[in-house]
């Protein structure tokens, strides 16, 4: 579950925060997270992501022994949108697909709201999903955000590719 802290931040139940000093430690943690990610088989993919993944780095730049700058970087891999007719999802896979698509729709709604009239939307629906709550600080305000989208050149994936490009 996700909760707001008294300072306005976000806290994820069961989340681990690990202090590291070396790049190889970061890479090891990243790969560990990838290995723990929920995956499953569908008619479209043998190894389909069944959840979004967020890897967050809190960076401190030291100058003269003191912290001169703090940065935060989210590396996010969104599970792909799914059309249940194509994936053949039933039971648990169907419920996962609904959750994935709900999060993607909420993210699209947040991006659309932020794009209104120079980013001055009357309401940005960050609370509509866990992924948008987690990424609210990166999406709004004066932060730099970069999105890399993966699409398929296959004609059978045209609708999904167009939908992905709308986000990017």
Domains for the chain: give ranges and CATH numbers. 2-167 (3.40.850.10)
Taking 70 as the pLDDT cut, the residues of the chain under it are 42-45, 47-48, 82, 84, 87, 89, 117-121
Angstrom distance (rounded) from CA 164 to CA 149: 7
Q: pLDDT value at position 117?
A: 65
DSSP at 51: S
What pLDDT score was predicted for residue 76? 92
CA distances from 32 to 20, 39, 89 (A): 14, 14, 27
- What's this model's pTM, rounded to 2 decimal places? 0.80
């Amino acid at each position: 579950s996700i909760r707001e802290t008294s300072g306005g931040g976000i806290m994820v139940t069961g989340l681990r925060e690990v202090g590291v000093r070396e790049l190889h430690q970061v890479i090891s943690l990243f790969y560990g997270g990838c290995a723990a990610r929920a995956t499953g088989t569908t008619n479209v993919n043998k190894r389909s992501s069944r959840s979004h993944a967020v890897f967050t780095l809190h960076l401190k730049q030291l100058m003269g022994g003191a912290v001169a700058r703090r940065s935060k970087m989210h590396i996010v891999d969104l599970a792909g949108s799914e059309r249940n007719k194509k994936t053949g999802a039933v039971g648990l896979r169907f419920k996962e697909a609904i959750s994935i698509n709900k999060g993607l729709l909420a993210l699209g709604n947040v991006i659309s709201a932020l794009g209104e009239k120079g980013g001055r939307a009357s309401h940005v629906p960050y609370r509509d999903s866990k992924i948008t709550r987690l990424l609210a600080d990166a999406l709004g305000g004066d932060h730099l955000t970069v999105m890399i989208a993966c699409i398929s050149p296959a004609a059978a994936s045209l609708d999904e590719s167009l939908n992905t490009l709308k986000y990017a």
